[in-house]
Amino acid sequence: MNVEMPKVDTAAELQRSEFLLIGCRHGSEAALEIRQKIAFPLFRKSYWRKGLVTFRVPSLTLTNSQWNDFRIPTDVLDNLVFGRIGIRSLGQVTGQTEEERITATHQLLTSIRFQNVHVWKRDPRLNVDTESIHRKLTDSLMSLNEKLFLPTTHLILNCVVDSEDRWWIGVHSDESRGAQWSGGYYPNQIPAHKISRAWLKLDEAIARFEIHFHPGDRVCELGAAPGGACQRLLEADLEVVGVDPAAIDSQIARHPRFTHWKKRARDIKMKSFYGFDWILTDMNIDPASTMTALERILVSPSLRPQGIIATLKLSDVSIAEKIGDWCASFGSWGYQTRVQQLSTGGQEICLVAQKACDHKSK
């Protein structure tokens, strides 16, 4: 189907869109800057607050066609790793009242069209009702100019509440799964009766990375206790082995498709890992040791799991410098990697590696 895109005065808009807003976890700003310096040395650090950092993107970069139509190339968030969401800034609005800020927002939207509005807080602790702002902003924009809303465009308007009287306005493209979630925050909550938060982390990873398990797949998790992630895997009809010297919740331990190997990862014989489709790791050890545990399995020609979902704990932000090396190691073992800090996780990153021939690049 041919969708006619709205006519946008791109040159004029780009003048104002030279700032990139990145939403990240509180405390991950320094790690994100490390990644920016490695991957995008031409970006210039600008406005810098907990949970929201901005970069000035040089105009030369913006002339690359991948930045057309207010898009951000997918490799930007992929390489920044610690960015949950990336937004093209249209500007900042301030004002004592919400009405003033809504009017100022409207003035920024000269020729932009968007399908939807996301309102989210830079700091989740900020005492601001984003649902109410969303309702008022949407209603006002609709009544001022209903043509601003165009269901066929890929753009989503963002109102990032920075403080009680300051909003950042920008747009992003809805083209990835995480980009469809307001602020890049995984919208699901942990349901009652789940064994640990690891259930939700894995649920987000499956959704964000669009991981497809097949019923009956055999999965082994290193660092499985008390069993939240295994619970999520069992719900996907998989055969699950949990490796952990610690106790597994009895609800999981007695499940007919679950087996507990009550040992440390390195004490498991290599031949035991034969036939697994996926290996997960969530051990509370340093990332180099997690990589060693994975290397032992992945270099063996007879053990070729189709995918790995690894949680790598970042005890220190400087470890962010190592991410490129870890991805290169996976590459040398024949896997393609994607890495991101999840919105439901802690000071850690989630690395998903899939066999190069199985991975369908998007």
Nearer to ligand SAM, 52 or 293 (CB): 293
Q: Compute the least distance from the CB of residue 26 to ligand SAM, in Å.
A: 20
Q: Compute the least distance from the CB of residue 320 to ligand SAM, in Å.
A: 20
Catalog residues that contact ligand SAM under the rule CB under 6 A. Answer: 196, 198, 222-229, 243-246, 264-265, 282-285
Nearer to ligand SAM, 53 or 205 (CB): 205
Is cis: bond before 124, omega within 30 of 0?
A: no
Tokens linked to 293? 């545990």
Nearer to ligand SAM, 33 or 348 (CB): 348
Type of residue numbered 114: F
Q: Compute the least distance from the CB of residue 2 to ligand SAM, in Å.
A: 47
Q: Compute the least distance from the CB of residue 95 to ligand SAM, in Å.
A: 44
Type of residue numbered 236: A
- Do 266 and 244 form a contact (C-beta atoms < 8 A)? no
Nearer to ligand SAM, 157 or 198 (CB): 198
Number of residues that this document lists for the chain:
362
Q: Which H or E run includes 44?
A: strand 44-49
Q: What angle do CA 226, 231, 234 make, to 5 degrees?
A: 140
d(CA 102, CA 111): 17
Q: Compute the least distance from the CB of residue 308 to ligand SAM, in Å.
A: 14
Nearer to ligand SAM, 191 or 301 (CB): 191
Location of structure tokens 């001022």: 144
Q: Compute the least distance from the CB of residue 191 to ligand SAM, in Å.
A: 15
User: Which letter, b or e, does each residue of 233-264 get, where b requires 16 or more Cβ atoms within 10 Å of its Cβ?
Assistant: bbebebbbbbbbeeebbeebbebeebebbeee
Q: Which H or E run includes 139?
A: helix 130-144
d(CA 118, CA 236): 31
Tokens linked to 335? 């896997």
What is residue 114's DSSP assignment?
B
Q: Compute the least distance from the CB of residue 185 to ligand SAM, in Å.
A: 21
Nearer to ligand SAM, 231 or 336 (CB): 231
Nearer to ligand SAM, 222 or 279 (CB): 222
d(CA 17, CA 11): 10
- Do 309 and 278 form a contact (C-beta atoms < 8 A)? yes
